[in-house]
A and B are shown apart, each in its own frame.
Chain A
């Protein structure tokens, strides 16, 4: 038995190819007609081009006749050819809405910046800010207790009195309220006292409760944990105006007169 078709009779593969070719030619012709006269209807059935070699074949199986799917053309983007501009939308008075929003926000900004506490703290800055801190030299911190600390060399130095606080040029706004656990992260350093001295006298005084306390001698000075760097020089008259308090130690006798 031979697989070759009989002479003059085309093979099945050839028949299928011919049918596909016919379908393509029909399609091309239809498109050409459409593009030449867009108004006119596309020809439903056009005679196939004349054949010279092959006679008309019988209808192919249904699976082969499936039409070739067209790729959907991408939607043209803005600025692309063939893009239709969208219709002009009617106004929704956005300008009025915006101006109201602007006024509202401006009023809110003013409100959150108005001081609401006796210390002049506004709503915008009223939250405890331990989480917000950038740790830096000179930071003033306060926990749940009354003590206020100054951070120096990664150590917390207790500011011993209101005089010392004022002498450091601090205000309540400089104090950052933090949790006690946050304070516990740091070592304790020397307390900060206000130590005053004038040029004309060798005596050193510690300012406490708006009184000056005479420090008897250098040994006492050292024993109290003071260092020379903490001593501030002030005019004699200023020092004289501050009332005397008990000396350090208290049995040191009467303080010298300036």
Chain B
């Protein structure tokens, strides 16, 4: 539980936290603490999602949600690092990694804070499409807050190398879009997280369709335009 102390530092003393990342102070310890905390928070949130379907789905989602975020981190961080280097950044890959991990930690702690809300809706509503869209909305809010943290952290950490700071800022903005795109596709690949009520438990579902059309279809069914078959 010692690792949880990092959450308070991130949430309350973020400026000092980012300065320490910039100066490379205790990077390994910070990253370990963030990794442990994020995995715990995401696993619990995933377990709540999967509980709508079955115990197996709860366990599967508890394992898959941390994988989703960490795999997205691994896939996207080299892009941010090399583009930053191209535009004059002097950060190391580890510092970049730590910064993105900070964003994931913020996202995961916010998701944890939404867990009681999800549990409440889990017990009081049975609308699969509603539950799915509620989860997408919550993930979007938590993810947005996470990338805001990342953007702020980038400004502080890259303050040392002032040359082409504007270009790097734009890179971060573009990278955030890429991160969201990769993250949504990763979520689609690793689905199901909630598990359709009429279907048997499956660890991974066959590929087909995409995240965005599925959300539109869910919206369409919830608003009564058609029935999903």
Contact = CB atoms under 8 A, between A and B. Distances in A.
B47 A109 contact: yes
A134 B159 CA distance: 52
Interface string A125-152: 1011111111110010000000000000
A124 interface: yes
A192 to B, nearest CB: 18
B197 A136 contact: no
Contacts of A88: 13, 16
Interface stretch (B3-11, B71-79, B96-104, B133-141): B3-11
A108 B5 CA distance: 24
A196 to B, nearest CB: 26
A129 B52 CA distance: 11
Interface string B112-138: 100110010011111111110000000
Given A95-B1, A136-B199, A78 B155 contact: yes
Of the four ranges (under 10, 10 to 19, 20 to 34, 35 or more), the interface on chain A belongs to 35 or more
Query: Taking each of B48, B130, B197, B228, which has the highest tally of chain A beta carbons within 10 Å of its own beta carbon?
Result: B197
B84 interface: no
B174 interface: no
B214 to A, nearest CB: 11
Contacts of A86: 13, 15
A105 B227 contact: no
A95 B8 CA distance: 7
B197 A101 contact: no
Contact of A135 (B55, B152, B229): B229
A94 B8 contact: yes
Contacts of A91: 8
Interface in A108-131: 108-109, 112-113, 122-125, 127-131
Interface string B175-217: 0000000000000000000001111000000000000000000
A123 B228 contact: no
Contact of A89 (B12, B129, B130, B156): B12
A132 B44 contact: no
Query: Taking each of A77, A94, A106, which has the highest tally of chain B beta carbons within 10 Å of its own beta carbon?
Result: A94
Contacts of B131: 132
A130 B127 CA distance: 8
B11 A78 contact: no
A98 interface: yes
Contacts, number: 125
A86 B122 CA distance: 41
B95 to A, nearest CB: 14
Given A109-B48, A113-B55, A135 B198 contact: yes
Given A86-B15, A124-B52, A134-B196, A129 B116 contact: no
A105 B44 contact: yes
B12 A108 contact: no
Interface in B140-166: 152, 154-159
A80 interface: yes
Given A94-B11, A102-B44, A135 B227 contact: yes
B198 A80 contact: no
B44 A109 contact: yes
B126 to A, nearest CB: 4
B128 A125 contact: no
Given A77-B155, A85-B16, A136 B126 contact: no
B1 A99 contact: yes
Given A98-B112, A102-B41, A129-B126, 15 more contacts: A79-B156, A91-B8, A92-B12, A93-B8, A94-B5, A95-B7, A102-B40, A105-B44, A105-B116, A123-B123, A125-B51, A125-B52, A127-B123, A132-B131, A134-B128
Closest 8 CB pairs of A and B: A79-B155, A132-B128, A94-B8, A127-B126, A95-B4, A79-B159, A124-B51, A79-B156
5 contacts: A88-B13, A102-B41, A102-B112, A131-B126, A133-B197
